[in-house]
Structure 1
Amino acid sequence: MGDIEVHEEATHPAWDDWVATVPGGHHLQTSGWGHVKADGGWRATRIVVRNGGRIIGGCQLLARSLPLVGGIAYVPRGPLLVSRDPAVLDAVLDALRDHARRKRILLLKVQPPVDRRDLPELLESRGLVASGLHTAPVASVVVDVGVAPDEDALFRALHATTRRRIRQARRGGVTVRTGTGDDLSILQDSIEATARRQGFAPYSAEYYRRLWAAFGDSGHARLLIAEHEGTPLSAALLIAFGDRVLYKIGGWRGVEGSPPGANELVHWTGISWARTAGYRYYDFEGIPLDVARAALAGNRAVRHGVAFFKLGFGGEPVIYPGTYDLLPDGLVGRGLRFVLPRAERWRGVVHRVSGRRSAPVEARRPGLRTLVGGIPGLRRPGTAA
Structure 2
Amino acid sequence: MAAEDRAADGRGAQVGVVRAPDAATLREWDALVAGTAGTDVNQLSAWTRVRAVVGYTSTHVLVRDRGRLVAGAQILLRGVAGPAHLAYLPSGPVVADDVADRDAVVARLADALHRWSGPLRPLFVAPPDGAEDVSAALLARGFRTSEAGVAPAGTLRLDLRVGEDELRAGLGRRLRYWTGKWADRGVAVRRGGAEDVALLAELMAHTARHQGYQPLPRHYVEAFHRELAPGGHAVLFVGEVDGRPVAADLLTVCGGVVKGRLGGFDRSGPWSKLSVPGAMRWEAIRWARREGHPWFDFGGIDPQMLRDLQAGRTDDEGWPSADRAKLSFGGRPHAYPPAVERLAAPVRVAYDALRNSERGRRGLARVSERLRGARRGHGDRPQQK
- Aligned residue in 1 for 2:113: 96
- Aligned residue in 2 for 1:366: none
1:105 aligned to 2:93? Answer: no
1:28 aligned to 2:45? Answer: no
| Unpaired stretches in structure 2, ≥5 consecutive residues | 1-8
Q: Distance in 1 between matches of 2:371 and 2:267?
A: 31
Shift of 1:162: 1.7
AA matched with 2:197: L
AA matched with 1:71: H
- Aligned residue in 1 for 2:4: none
| Unpaired stretches in structure 1, ≥5 consecutive residues | 363-375
Choose 69-78 or 207-216, whichever is displaced more: 69-78
Matches within 5 A, 1:1-385: 1=9, 2-9=13-20, 12-67=26-81, 70-82=84-96, 83=99, 85-101=102-118, 105-146=120-161, 148=162, 150-258=163-271, 260-303=274-317, 305-328=321-344, 331-332=345-346, 334-336=348-350, 338-339=352-353, 341-342=355-356, 345-346=359-360, 347=362, 351=366, 354=370, 359-362=375-378, 376-377=379-380
The ranges of structure 1 where at least 4 consecutive aligned residues each deviate by more than 6 angstroms after the TM superposition are none
Q: Distance in 2 between matches of 1:357 and 1:55?
A: 28
Q: Is the 8 A contact 2:261 2:380 kept in 1?
A: no
AA matched with 2:238: I
Q: Normalization by structure 2: what TM-score? A: 0.86
Cα displacement string for residues 304-348 of structure 1 (whole angstroms, at most 9, x for unaligned residues) = 7112210100110111123111223xx425525634644873435
Check 1:183–1:343 CA distance in 2 against 1; reply closer, same or farther (3 A cut): farther
When the two structures are aligned, how many residues end up with a matched partner? 363
Q: Is the 8 A contact 2:16 2:61 kept in 1?
A: yes
Q: Distance in 1 between matches of 2:297 and 2:373?
A: 28
Choose 250-259 or 165-174, whichever is displaced more: 165-174
Check 1:291–1:160 CA distance in 2 against 1; reply closer, same or farther (3 A cut): same
Cα displacement string for residues 21-65 of structure 1 (whole angstroms, at most 9, x for unaligned residues) = 123322111111111111111111111010101122211100122
Match of 1:167, SS state, is coil
Choose 25-34 or 279-288, whichever is displaced more: 25-34
Choose 316-325 or 263-272, whichever is displaced more: 316-325
Shift of 1:68: 5.4
Shift of 1:96: 2.3
- Aligned residue in 2 for 1:365: none
Q: Is the 8 A contact 2:29 2:44 kept in 1?
A: yes
Q: Is the 8 A contact 2:257 2:295 kept in 1?
A: yes
Give the RMSD, CA atoms, in angstroms.
2.8
Shift of 1:201: 0.7
Q: Is the 8 A contact 1:61 1:73 kept in 2?
A: yes
Q: Normalization by structure 1: what TM-score? A: 0.86
Q: Distance in 1 between matches of 2:142 and 2:249?
A: 40
Identity of aligned residues (%): 29
Choose 265-274 or 40-49, whichever is displaced more: 40-49
Shift of 1:145: 0.7
